[in-house]
Amino acid sequence: MLYSLLLPALVALDVASAVSAERGRPRIITKLDIVNKEIAPDGFPRVGTLANGTFPGPIIKGYKGDNFQIKVDNHLHDESMNTSTTVHWHGIDQHHTNWADGVAFVTQCPIEPDHSFLYDFDVHDQAGTFWYHSHEGVQYCDGLRGPLVIYDENDPHKHMYDVDDDTTVISLSDWYHQPASKLTFGGPWPANSTLINGLGRQEGAQTPVTVIEVEQGKRYRFRLLASSCHPWFNFSINGHDNMTIIEADGQNTEPLSGIDQIQVYPAQRYSFVLEANQPIGNYWIHAVPDQVNPSVTNTSLGLAILRYRGAPAEDPRDEPTIVPEPKSPLLEQNLRAYPTEEAVPPLDPDCEECNLTFNFTLDIQAGDFLVNGTSYQSPELPVLLQILSGKYTPQQLLPKGSVYTLPRNKTIQVTMPGLVLGGPHPLHLHGHSFHVVRSSGTNQTNTINPVFRDTVAVGGAASDDVIIRFRTDNPGPWIMHCHIDFHLALGFALVFAEDPEDVAGYVSPIPPAWDELCPIFYEGDGNVQQYYVGYSWRDLALFAAAALTVLFLLSRLLMKLRQRSKMTLPYYSPLSTDEAEASQKAAFTSTPGATVTNLEEAEPLLIDGAKY
């Protein structure tokens, strides 16, 4: 009903929108079939939700400036998990294509089973390590996640490495033996295993692990991705204590050398250069999740093998559960943006709405996370749809306090105090990268050249305050949320409505298939678990019933008026002569309510101006 009310405005918008994104160079055309399939990445079989039937999903690759056209076909039918789906392209700014950001009920309605949707977007001037995943409920925890790599032909760090291909992508994931929807409440639940490139070992199992082969003397650019739903990882490679960081979340950094351990939070990515300068052999790769308590269990310890060409095909000889203590771990505050990256923009002292503070708390009794006292709840229709319609403001459509309207072309500073229960919490902002002016774990600020990224961790200590800055140069609704997916499901999110007045002129023409997603979604059950603020579906149903009743009464009234304005012809019946005559007199009476006693006294009838 609400969609039908907004549809005329959207049709007009499609006609009026003349601004579209400039198309990129080559088109990267690919397809993702979203299916339910049984896999056993750690030796335990279970049905997952997978892209093209694999975990992780296939690597999608392109070059800076390319246009991506990715068709997503939904073949899901396992009712123990979400059957509707979306795909979010994590870290892609989506300039002019907010509708392709893939966030359920913020930028689109989900794709129903046996339907498809084409995501069509340009990467403009972005390059680096990204990824894609479902943004519908906790679906990506069931397996719908995969790497997205955008190469730069003019990479300023290209002289530092010899190899950068599919074999150097390292994806870290948590894996659960139950559907993720059963783990949302009452947790946190530790993962059953940690997977490196889709393989891992649960307790007591001797299942295969991933083997990454290198050649002695060569330099490798490894792209490290934490595609986890809950834990963060400490990543290290035995015998190799000189990793050089050159990228964070799709943004170049100044080379930072001498790193022997990388702490990577959910959704974060790093590129590091590793020189294969050790004796030919096999070396353990470790991904230790924060949930591991060595005194209790090591079942979630992530393992893989770095194997030099020429080494025997066997496990390393040292104990896999012994992880060397780091001497020089990566600290975010030591990262610096590459000199050619965007400078930190200054603040506008006259812009009050540009300086925001978000306090994150946990309502233990309700089990909800709160942002400034409000737990986020999705609307029943996408925020983008409602903004484009022009009928409602974002504040009318979301719980009070969950949406923040931002002016265009301003510098926004967001302060996020620490002392948050259940942390650290990786906060991800859609549509933007941001400058980390203050990192968790330090009281120092950097407004000169801090790291530029799209996901930052806010910790649970008093010293874990975080400050970020970004420019509002991308109109549209953009969600900011904790990337522990179970926390997002409990309301740990908010929406920035960036320059809503100009969204219609900035976003490229909406494809017709996007307009069809909501009607298709609400034809089925849709797994509707959200609440529409302002009007409930019961309110809309009552409104529709009342409108139909009014229309029915009006139609009856019009019918009666038409009948009274028409001539009534005489009729004959088996009545007595007097009764029949009286009936005829009444029939020929042209004045409503008039009574005559003699037929000759009746007023003449007027038909087409003639008297009868």
Q: Which own/partner contact pairs does 519-526 have at CB distance under 8 Å and 24+ positions apart?
A: 519/3, 520/109, 520/112, 520/115, 521/84, 521/109, 521/110, 521/112, 522/3, 522/109, 523/112, 524/112, 524/113, 526/84, 526/110, 526/112
Task: Name the catalytic one among 92, 481, 521, 588.
Answer: 481
Task: Name the catalytic one among 95, 124, 230, 425.
Answer: 425
Name the 3-class secondary structure at 49. Answer: strand
Q: Count the residues in the chain.
A: 612
Task: Name the catalytic one among 60, 285, 479, 484.
Answer: 484
Task: Name the catalytic one among 222, 369, 492, 496.
Answer: 492
Task: Name the catalytic one among 487, 496, 520, 521.
Answer: 487
Task: Name the catalytic one among 115, 230, 286, 483.
Answer: 483
DSSP state of 224: E
Task: Name the catalytic one among 229, 482, 510, 518.
Answer: 482
Active site residue 133: yes
Of 482, 453, 484, give the one whose Cα is nearest residue 469.
Answer: 453
Active site residue 483: yes
Which residue shows structure tokens 């330099």?
219
> Distance (Å, rounded) from C-alpha 451 to C-alpha 252?
9
DSSP state of 462: T
> Distance (Å, rounded) from C-alpha 599 to C-alpha 50?
88
Task: Name the catalytic one among 124, 428, 432, 435.
Answer: 428
Task: Name the catalytic one among 70, 90, 170, 486.
Answer: 90
Name the 3-class secondary structure at 586. Answer: helix
Active site residue 115: no
Which residue shows structure tokens 């105090």?
417
Residue 465 contacts residue 417 (beta carbons within 8 Å): yes
Task: Name the catalytic one among 95, 135, 230, 435.
Answer: 135
Name beta bridge partners: 607: 610
Of 417, 406, 433, give the one whose Cα is nearest residue 348.
Answer: 406
Active site residue 230: no
Active site residue 492: yes
Task: Name the catalytic one among 430, 432, 479, 520.
Answer: 430
Please return the burial class of 336, using the count of CB atoms within 10 Å of its CB with bins 0-12, 13-18 and 19+: middle
Of 530, 532, 541, 345, give the one whose Cα is nearest residue 448.
Answer: 345
What radius of gyration, in Å, describes the C-alpha atoms of the chain? 32
Active site residue 425: yes
Residue 347 contacts residue 354 (beta carbons within 8 Å): yes
Which residue type occupies 468?
A: I
> Distance (Å, rounded) from C-alpha 1 to C-alpha 7?
10
> Distance (Å, rounded) from C-alpha 516 to C-alpha 520?
6
Name beta bridge partners: 286: 236, 303
Task: Name the catalytic one among 96, 115, 133, 435.
Answer: 133
Q: Tell how strand 169-175 and strand 219-226 pair up.
A: parallel
Q: What are phi and psi of 185, to 5 degrees?
A: -110, 150
Name beta bridge partners: 47: 38
- Whole-angstrom CA distances from 248 to 138, 312, 400, 533 are 25, 34, 34, 38
Of 268, 256, 261, give the one whose Cα is nearest residue 236.
Answer: 261
What is the set of active-site residues?
88, 90, 133, 135, 425, 428, 430, 481-484, 487, 492
